[in-house]
């Protein structure tokens, strides 16, 4: 059940490549590769999907759990040789593994069909990466994603403002509005019974063309317990904490840089899961409004109740803004 | 049902929702100790297998095998618990069991929906001892039952 076409000669392809790629980057020869096995598709190859030729560039990389620049061999940047657009080609790569957060271990899966489903669901929605799913020659779901040029939220926030107070008064309000927009987007997924699955600050990219942020990477799923969306909400809480603190405020950092503030912390002030992160940021930055701090404290060790629905978080943020 | 119509006092019907955990076993033993041998009670043992998400399985067939294995295991466990209750004095016809796949939003919702269908007056569950972080991330069925149950009592057995 293939989708390839042999309609392009090598001469045609080289002519098209020359149109979009600097002269020094144009290869002497170009091969059209079968799409069934991503390991056989290399830099400078061409793959044809639904009659469109894509000139393959580098594998994408991802920093995860401290391992920076981990290559994702099944994710390749490519140029659509008809339109010149840069795309991300994501082959099927199934992975079933146990994720670990602190002492907690839970089952996760990387599911191409989940991402394909969500891409269809969020088509045209600006808060999500866009793309479509086609079948490779083996009948697997290969995703063709629009490349989003821009920095991740994790890169943007710490660079804003001259210090925390300047950041908080002059940049944070706009970021908080963006965060609420992003949370609304997650609510949309949840309303359709879908999880994002891997919410973190480097899965949010500021699209340089629009200035707005987009969620990326929807292929993770986790085996949920009673609370289907609890792990997603935890991710949202982490992003909000990062934004409010202009980075992670750790107990280690406080002890080193502001021991007198560290002394004022109590056990319940830290994050319920990452207990080296401080959630009670008002103790460090007193100008943080009480209502906003109260939202952060829903994710703290001392929290008596937790958010179960995205809407609850949105309602509280609406009051805090 | 025939015996019920002859008996003017309707049996109190308890629903014990169990999984393979020790806490579920404690819940069954508690009911056995507490009510075994007393007339006027009947028990439905229930095991709800959370609806598996297709994303975790490459094919429908793989998913089907998983569900069948789970149901088989659950039925064996329920039969075992039925024996425990009978040994404590419950008549055989007063103990029923059922294993099913829950398609509700949560396990607690599935249990409460079945309670409603069976018109049980009490739901009994064991309390899993979860770390706070685990409860925060993945929720607690007993906690949700306590908060969401209507027109029935909930016994959470430590």
- Nearest CA among A221, A222, A229, A245 for reference residue A293: A245
- Answer for the pair A245, A260: CB distance below 8 angstroms, yes or no: no
Distance from CA of A227 to the nearest CA of B (A): 5
Chain A residue numbers touching B108 (CB-CB < 8 A): 226
Residue-level pLDDT at B8: 64
Residue-level pLDDT at A64: 46
- Nearest CB neighbour to A102, from listed B54, B133, B140: B133
Instruction: Indicate which of B53, B102, B110 best probes the interface with A, i.e. most A CBs within 10 Å of its own CB.
Output: B53
Fill in the DSSP letter of residue A150: S
The encoded tokens of residue A119 equal 């891409």
CB–CB contact A226 B139 (8 Å): yes
- Nearest CB neighbour to A234, from listed B56, B131, B137: B137
Q: What is the pLDDT of residues B35-54, one digit of tens each?
A: 999 999 999 999 999 888 89
Distance from CA of A140 to the nearest CA of B (A): 11
> What residues of chain A, 248 to 277, have a C-beta less than 8 Å from chain B?
272-273
Give the residue from chain A lying closest to B130, CA to CA.
A104
Q: Does A130 touch chain B (CB under 8 A)?
A: no
Chain A residue numbers touching B141 (CB-CB < 8 A): 225-226
pLDDT-derived band at B104, boundaries 50, 70, 90:
low
High-pLDDT (> 70) share of chain A, %? 96
Answering whether pTM is above 0.80, one says yes
Interatomic CA distance for residues B122 and B21, integer angstroms? 20
Q: Is the pLDDT of residue A67 over 50?
A: no
Q: Is the pLDDT of residue A2 over 50?
A: no
DSSP notation for A156-203: HGGGSSSSHHHHHHHTHHHHHHHHHHHHHHHHHHHHTT-------GGG
**Rg over CA atoms, chain B:** 16
For chain B, helix, strand, coil in percent to 5 are: 50, 20, 30
Residue-level pLDDT at A63: 53
| Sheet strand arrangement including A131-135 | A46-49, A52-64, A67-80, A86-90, A141-146, A131-135
Q: What is the pLDDT of residues A201-260, one digit of tens each?
A: 999 999 999 999 999 999 999 999 899 999 999 999 999 999 999 999 999 999 999 999
Q: Mean pLDDT, chain B, as a whole number?
A: 92
The encoded tokens of residue A196 equal 């994002």
pLDDT-derived band at B7, boundaries 50, 70, 90:
low
- Answer for the pair B82, B31: CB distance below 8 angstroms, yes or no: no
């Amino acid at each position: 059940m293939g989708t390839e076409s042999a309609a392009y000669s090598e001469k045609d392809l080289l002519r098209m490549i020359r149109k979009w790629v600097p002269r020094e980057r144009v290869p002497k020869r170009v091969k059209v590769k079968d799409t069934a096995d991503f390991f056989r598709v290399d830099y400078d190859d061409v793959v044809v999907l639904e009659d469109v030729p894509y000139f393959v560039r580098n594998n994408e990389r991802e920093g995860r759990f401290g391992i920076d620049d981990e290559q994702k061999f099944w994710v390749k940047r490519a140029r659509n040789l008809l339109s010149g657009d840069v795309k991300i080609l994501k082959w099927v790569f199934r992975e079933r593994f146990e994720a670990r957060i602190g002492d907690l271990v839970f089952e996760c899966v990387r599911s191409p069909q989940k991402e394909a489903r969500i891409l269809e669901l969020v088509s045209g929605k600006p808060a999500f990466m866009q793309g479509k799913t086609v079948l490779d020659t083996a009948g697997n779901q290969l995703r063709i994603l629009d490349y989003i040029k821009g920095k991740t939220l994790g890169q943007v926030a710490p660079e804003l403002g001259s210090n925390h107070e300047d950041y908080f008064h002059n940049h944070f309000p706009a970021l908080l509005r963006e965060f609420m927009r992003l949370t609304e987007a997650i609510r949309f997924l949840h309303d359709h019974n879908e999880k994002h699955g891997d919410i973190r600050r480097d899965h949010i990219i500021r699209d340089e063309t629009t200035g707005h942020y987009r969620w990326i990477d929807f292929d993770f799923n986790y085996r949920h317990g009673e609370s289907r969306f609890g792990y997603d909400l935890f991710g949202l809480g982490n992003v909000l904490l990062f934004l409010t603190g202009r980075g992670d405020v750790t107990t280690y950092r406080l002890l080193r840089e502001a021991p007198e503030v560290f002394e004022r912390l109590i056990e319940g002030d830290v994050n319920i899961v990452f207990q080296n992160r401080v959630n009670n940021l008002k103790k460090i930055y007193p100008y943080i409004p009480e209502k906003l701090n109260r939202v952060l404290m829903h994710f703290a060790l001392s929290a008596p109740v937790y958010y179960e629905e995205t809407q609850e978080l949105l309602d509280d943020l609406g009051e805090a803004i | 049902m025939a015996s019920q119509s002859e008996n003017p006092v309707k049996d109190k019907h308890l629903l014990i929702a169990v999984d393979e955990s020790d806490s579920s076993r404690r819940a069954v033993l508690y009911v056995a100790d507490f009510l075994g041998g007393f007339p006027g009670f009947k028990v439905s043992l229930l095991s709800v297998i959370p609806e598996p998400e297709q994303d975790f399985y490459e094919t429908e067939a793989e998913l089907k095998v998983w569900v069948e294995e789970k149901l088989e295991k659950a039925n064996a466990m329920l039969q075992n618990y039925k024996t425990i209750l009978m040994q404590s004095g419950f008549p055989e016809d007063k103990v029923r069991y059922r294993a099913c796949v829950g398609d509700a939003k949560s396990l607690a919702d599935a249990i409460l929906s079945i309670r409603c269908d069976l018109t049980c007056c009490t739901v009994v569950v064991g309390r899993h001892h979860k770390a706070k972080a685990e409860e925060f991330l993945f929720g607690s069925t007993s906690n949700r039952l306590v908060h969401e149950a209507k027109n029935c009592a909930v016994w959470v057995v430590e």
